[in-house]
Structure 1
Amino acid sequence: MKKGIYLLGLGVLLLLCMDLQAKVRLPHFFSSNMVLQRDMPIRVWGKADKNEVISVALNGSVQTAKTGKDGIWRVELPAMKAGGPYDMQIESAEETIGLTNILIGDVWVCSGQSNMEFGLNNVINAGQEIAASTLPDIRLLNVPKNMQSKEQFDLEPCEWTACNPQTSPLFTAVGYFFGKELQPEIGVPVGLIHTSWGGTDIETWTSWETAVKTNDTYKKYAGKDQEKAMGYSMDNIRLYKEALKKDKGLVQKWYVPAYKTKGWKTMAVPKVWEAELANEDGIVWFRKTIDLPAGVTGKKARINLGAVDDEDLTYVNGVKVGEMNFWMPNRSYEIPAGVLKGGNNVIAVRITDTGGLGGILGKAKEVYLEIDGQRYSLAGDWVYKPSVVTSMYKVSGISPNSFSSLLYNGMVHPLIGYGIKGVIWYQGENNAGRAYQYRTLFPAMINDWRQQWGYEFPFLWVQLANFMAVEDQPKDSDWAELREAQNMTLSLPKTGQAVITDIGEAFDIHPKNKQEVGKRLAKAALQVAYGQPVLGEGPVYKSMKVEGEKVILTFGNVGDGLTTSDRNRYGYVNGFSIAGADRKFVWAKAYIDGNKVVVFSEKVPNPVAVRYGWSNNPYDDNLVNSAGLLASPFRTDQWKGITEK
């Protein structure tokens, strides 16, 4: 009898396994609420059991395909005009998958590092912006972070969503404002695919195929599989990522006051945790108990933690009061009435660090509770315990920048074939120290993506903002050289950039005015991607002529003429420096003469070169065209820069 039951159970198990094999599986980005690219054939693909026949139906068109030995199937549906909503059915002999609320429009990929990752919840007037974010014709797809040493078939789990106050707060602010500005202008639905990771080099976003051909660092690996070239497997990374998802601190509720913290260690806060947790990334829990007077019971309050690196999940007396998935912005969360009480109150903060420094990093005065205008300091000793950290899985020191292509493999390659209108890109801060190399790396990546997709889509980017302390005298600048490399990349067809050297913040690498960034990108898109007769970029330097002690500069893309952003009636232009044959630059005077700028200095009677905005923080540059768009920093000389080796 037991044998019969065993055989029956085995048969059921085999049937279940066969059923699992036969299931049709779609990449996660094929989901309800998606936007499909208009005016081009629509490619849909997935996996199933081998020799399975799959049919895909959309708007009356049906296409079929048969899986090969690898179980992959692909179909191509006819191009469609903008519209919707539509439904899609994917069928095999045994099942049907239905996707609903699909729009046909323009799809834009939003990629880069932390300034692209910067969420809508961190911008100026974030509350108002989020409240006004119900935009039915805009759809959002957030691509999860994923390092991989091999090109992946699919993204980590994700799905398209409608744009509304529930889905917009953690979405890329630059992408959101770009879409919000663009969609009414073009009058069709817009899909935004956000795939970025803060603190990353451009190399990690470039395919291995291109890296070994164009990057001197990796040419020696030509013909080698990436994992063999790396010398280690990503298996431990996979186990580490799985552990992050199953954080035992959440499972065991380390945030509730009743949880005993016996054995936890002590750390002074605020402080980077590297002294106690050297080279560790991952999840660390912090707790602090604070004694409050009886009068606070039942009152609303606010907790402020200052800057956190990278992500936090914050609880007060077991109640979640806030979270942020972005590094460094100030954390300030409202504590609802009824949470605090007289006596002991327990604050728990779950911090996730994805690389580099980690912890609560602000100033001591920024870490406090505020109740009825009175502040109670939270600075000082907290107890802490690692939940999941890299040393547990022997992956310490492995980051997206450890090797080329790690993020391309996991966060870009799966999307290849999904129709897109174009890409917006915000990256370069991490490569500033190698700006001369960026002249090659940046266009190589753009060409790489275009080659992978199979067509020359528009590619737009944000030039580095002004940042760091203002210099008293002209000097060399790696950030200026990176901006120059970005300018040079405009030689590629169908490219454009948004110049934002007027809206950065001297002491914050993440300027909060992402509204203007999105607007300027949208203007560039209207010109580059849609061919509209608009000025999408600022004045572009064309040529120089020396007349005595003056240098005469000519510009293109001026529209109805050059002017200054402050509209000063004297026509004086800020930001110029000038040098003679000795190559020693001094600040220069400059004024507008028609569509030209005249630059001079009594200190340089025989000028040979001028520079404009050539510094880390050219905050007061003011040369604009009739559309009010800034001229990009530039130089007329070709003298060796500080990043040229």
Structure 2
Amino acid sequence: MKFNTIILLGALFLLTTLSYGQIKLPRLISDGAILQRDTDLKIWGWASPKEKITFTFKGKNYKTKADKKGYWGFNLPPQKASGPFKMTFKGKNKISVNDILFGDVWLCSGQSNMVHQLDIHDVIYADEIKTANYSEIRHFKIPNTTNVYGPQEQLEGGIWQKAIGEEVRPFSAVAYFFAKKIYEKYHVPIGLVNASVGGSRIEAWIPEEGFKAYPNVQKIIEENRDPDFLKTLDELNKKQPASTSQPSDNGLIGEKKWYDPTFVPKNWRRINIPGYWEDQGIRDLNGIVWYRREFTIPDAMVGKEAKVYLGRIVDADEFYINGEKVGNKTYQYPQRRYKVSANILKKGKNVFVVRVTNYGGKGGFVPDKPYYLFTEKDTIDLKGYWSYKVGQVFNPKKRNSISEKEDQPRIRRMNYRGEPSILYNAMVAPFTNYSFKGVLWYQGESNTGNPKEYAGYMHTLADSWRTVFKSPNIPFIYAQLTNFMDVSYLPTESNWAELRDAQLKSLSIANSAMVVNIDLGEWNDIHPDDKKSVGERMALAGLKLAYNEDLVYSGPIYKSHKVEGNKITISFNHIGSGLMSKDGESISEFAIAGDDKEFVWAQAKIEGDKLIVWSDEVLNPKYIRYAWANNPYNPNFYNKEGLPASPFEIKL
């Protein structure tokens, strides 16, 4: 989004929010809403200045008058879990809100792993979608919007949806499984308000008031709300070339495009799918690579609708069958699942072509993912050898000569998912009058580049949200990052491990709980399929913090240690009914170092409710780590309730 567009939208928004001519309600107070039970509620909206408003609920009238800016509000006394009800609002116009329930409402926020809908994971959760029949579990997805100027009054859209059949597809998968677990225990309506954005940084969700201790961040906020500064920054960035001029894609400029089934390929080479081209002889290439292969389609599949699974592709792709474009994605993370119309597949040979664009790192088809074409009864495996040819090579990027000068600072670029307060202003601030049972937070991947600051930001986020929602002790439940990327077989340094450690340290936030997910990730996917386990583990924490159930809701968390010679005896919180190795093998993934911080693998054994760790190679241990890697090989230390221990690092 361009800067001048944001400036214009901001100006228009200020005009619309300050010029109400009739009663308007916040988006969340709409048909199908779930309101928080057992607490005083604020019902609010806007009208003409000084306009008289009558609010009717359960046969009782409440009267008030809008202030000089058009704002009005009612205080509704606590309501038990119940419904459905109708609310009416009457002034110069009349609004009715129907099918309102009172239950427990949870604010769900973070980045893409909170965003990810059941629809994206509909293969593994096909039965969940088919059998969903929970009219009292409802989900409201806040539209993705930004605002650099300050808090908005109104959301830009959104509706309440019920967890019934196909309507459950847009639900956050993590939030849905959390809600389902809670609902099946208490049968109380559960509302899920989902304010999450893929790729977002934690700073974007913190209100400006939370950054009082961060003068550098405050400076950025002030700059971002200055239209002249943004215009200047935009102009400087336009002058800064992202890369040298790029040649055209040869696959698109010839007389026949390379996806044309009548195109005759010459000098194409063999390559395997799945796999990265960097691992198959195409070194140091950022650019466009075309893949081509002919498949013989059996008669039973001809004229039938079909689906194609192309795993994941780094980075962007366009997929063609017989010259017809079947689908495309513009970045690497979505799973490629494309529908094939009934008129595309023909009898005999069919030409499949994939145009892959890679901007950095390894390009190609991610291993250990599904690659096949299928109809209801037939399947064709797409793995194996294809032909390829490079259509375009991207020239290396060059730094702007202006920013290379010692007396010139590097030009910063706006990150619309990471600028301080930019998402809070647009996606949370408009409903701070709404009441919630608790907060579910799943975020951190976008902050792994600088993990040392994360624990401070977590405290700032929790404190500031509790302040703006006027709920100083609201439960704050968050997910620790899963395992991801290549497996580590030797002790290693890791930004992901440091971020997890920052999340562990954030347990000092009052009335908080962390869900450990070190066993739920996938080495080749930052968005693992297993959202159910994350949601259900969050539900365990919710049952403890929000519903005061007496249960074990966490795996072992480091508590204290004692050093005797070269052996360290470690005590843990949340041991439940005992400690165990999940696979029955020796406890693994512990590493020890001396003053030199050269870590070596250590031995570990359970003795009662403690763990003894040592290495004969380190006689004077000074540091100890557990599961300290992007993707530790076998973190098998659990409690007997089946919950994994959190990774940690301790200076002895």
TM-score above 0.5? yes
Paired position in structure 2 for 1:542: 559
* Structure 1 residue ranges without an equivalent (≥5): 1-16, 237-260, 278-285, 384-395, 639-645
- Give the deviation of 1:375 after TM superposition: 7.1
Q: Are the equivalent residues in 2 in contact too, given 1:559–1:627 (CA < 8 A)?
A: yes
Paired position in structure 2 for 1:451: 467
**CA RMSD for the aligned pairs?**
4.3
Letter in 1 for 2:632: P
Q: Does 1:603 align with 2:617?
A: yes
Q: Does 1:232 align with 2:230?
A: yes
2:103 alignment partner, one of 102, 105, 116: 105
Q: Are the equivalent residues in 2 in contact too, given 1:268–1:379 (CA < 8 A)?
A: no
Q: Are the equivalent residues in 2 in contact too, given 1:578–1:604 (CA < 8 A)?
A: yes
Paired position in structure 2 for 1:427: 443
- Give the deviation of 1:566 after TM superposition: 2.2
CA–CA distance in structure 2, aligned partners of residues 142 and 314 of structure 1: 30
TM-score (norm 2): 0.76
Paired position in structure 2 for 1:280: none
Letter in 2 for 1:414: P
Change (3 A) 1:381 1:206: same
Letter in 2 for 1:599: V
CA–CA distance in structure 2, aligned partners of residues 313 and 87 of structure 1: 49
CA–CA distance in structure 2, aligned partners of residues 145 and 267 of structure 1: 37
- Give the deviation of 1:334 after TM superposition: 4.2
Paired position in structure 2 for 1:404: 420
- Structural mapping, 1:521-532, within 5 Å: 521-532=538-549
Q: Are the equivalent residues in 1 in contact too, given 2:321–2:353 (CA < 8 A)?
A: yes
Q: Are the equivalent residues in 2 in contact too, given 1:439–1:488 (CA < 8 A)?
A: yes
> Which segment is superposed worse, 313-322 or 326-335?
313-322
Q: Does 1:301 align with 2:306?
A: yes
TM-score (norm 1): 0.77
Letter in 2 for 1:159: I
- Give the deviation of 1:618 after TM superposition: 2.3
- The CA deviation string for residues 36-65 of structure 1, in whole angstroms up to 9 with x for no partner, is 001111212222222211222222343222
Paired position in structure 2 for 1:332: 337
- Structural mapping, 1:567-578, within 5 Å: 567-568=584-585, 572-578=586-592
- Structural mapping, 1:342-353, within 5 Å: none
Paired position in structure 1 for 2:204: 204
CA–CA distance in structure 1, aligned partners of residues 542 and 231 of structure 2: 41
Q: Does 1:176 align with 2:176?
A: yes
1:480 alignment partner, one of 497, 500, 504: 497
CA–CA distance in structure 1, aligned partners of residues 59 and 388 of structure 2: 64
- The CA deviation string for residues 471-512 of structure 1, in whole angstroms up to 9 with x for no partner, is 232122211111111111111111001101011111211111
Q: Are the equivalent residues in 2 in contact too, given 1:299–1:338 (CA < 8 A)?
A: yes
Change (3 A) 1:473 1:312: closer
Paired position in structure 2 for 1:31: 30
- The CA deviation string for residues 157-206 of structure 1, in whole angstroms up to 9 with x for no partner, is 11111112222223211111111112122331100111111111111111
- Give the deviation of 1:314 after TM superposition: 9.5
Q: Does 1:71 align with 2:55?
A: no
Q: Are the equivalent residues in 1 in contact too, given 2:200–2:418 (CA < 8 A)?
A: no
Paired position in structure 2 for 1:437: 453
CA–CA distance in structure 2, aligned partners of residues 320 and 23 of structure 1: 48
SS at match of 2:465: helix
Letter in 1 for 2:116: F
> Which segment is superposed worse, 340-349 or 55-64?
340-349
CA–CA distance in structure 2, aligned partners of residues 336 and 228 of structure 1: 50
Paired position in structure 1 for 2:395: none
SS at match of 1:199: coil
- The CA deviation string for residues 270-304 of structure 1, in whole angstroms up to 9 with x for no partner, is 999x9899xxxxxxxx9x9x999996652333334
Q: Are the equivalent residues in 1 in contact too, given 2:55–2:62 (CA < 8 A)?
A: yes
- Give the deviation of 1:338 after TM superposition: 5.2
- Give the deviation of 1:225 after TM superposition: 7.8
Paired position in structure 2 for 1:417: 433
Change (3 A) 1:467 1:30: same
SS at match of 2:568: strand
Q: Are the equivalent residues in 2 in contact too, given 1:120–1:170 (CA < 8 A)?
A: yes
Letter in 2 for 1:135: Y
SS at match of 1:204: helix
Letter in 1 for 2:647: P
Paired position in structure 2 for 1:555: 572
> Which segment is superposed worse, 479-488 or 290-299?
290-299
Q: Are the equivalent residues in 1 in contact too, given 2:314–2:365 (CA < 8 A)?
A: no
Q: Are the equivalent residues in 2 in contact too, given 1:368–1:379 (CA < 8 A)?
A: no
Letter in 2 for 1:535: V
CA–CA distance in structure 1, aligned partners of residues 257 and 343 of structure 2: 29
SS at match of 1:218: helix
SS at match of 2:541: helix
Letter in 1 for 2:196: S
CA–CA distance in structure 2, aligned partners of residues 574 and 276 of structure 1: 41
Q: Are the equivalent residues in 2 in contact too, given 1:118–1:326 (CA < 8 A)?
A: no
CA–CA distance in structure 2, aligned partners of residues 160 and 496 of structure 1: 28
Paired position in structure 2 for 1:392: none
- Structural mapping, 1:179-328, within 5 Å: 179-211=179-211, 213-220=212-219, 224=222, 226-228=224-226, 231-232=229-230, 297-307=302-312, 328=333
Q: Are the equivalent residues in 1 in contact too, given 2:372–2:379 (CA < 8 A)?
A: no
Letter in 2 for 1:483: R
CA–CA distance in structure 1, aligned partners of residues 417 and 142 of structure 2: 18
* Structure 2 residue ranges without an equivalent (≥5): 1-15, 235-251, 261-272, 278-284, 393-411
Change (3 A) 1:374 1:174: closer
- Give the deviation of 1:96 after TM superposition: 1.9
Letter in 2 for 1:32: D
- The CA deviation string for residues 523-576 of structure 1, in whole angstroms up to 9 with x for no partner, is 0111112211111111121111112221111112212222222245xxx32121
SS at match of 1:167: helix
Change (3 A) 1:26 1:368: same
CA–CA distance in structure 1, aligned partners of residues 255 and 84 of structure 2: 54
Letter in 2 for 1:52: E
Q: Are the equivalent residues in 1 in contact too, given 2:543–2:549 (CA < 8 A)?
A: yes
**Stretches of 4+ aligned residues off by more than 3 angstroms:** 219-222, 261-272, 274-277, 290-297, 303-327, 333-349, 360-383, 396-399
Change (3 A) 1:319 1:41: farther
> Which segment is superposed worse, 579-588 or 175-184?
579-588
Letter in 1 for 2:113: N
- Give the deviation of 1:126 after TM superposition: 2.3
> Which segment is superposed worse, 599-608 or 363-372?
363-372
State the percentage of identical aligned residues. 36
CA–CA distance in structure 1, aligned partners of residues 218 and 135 of structure 2: 47
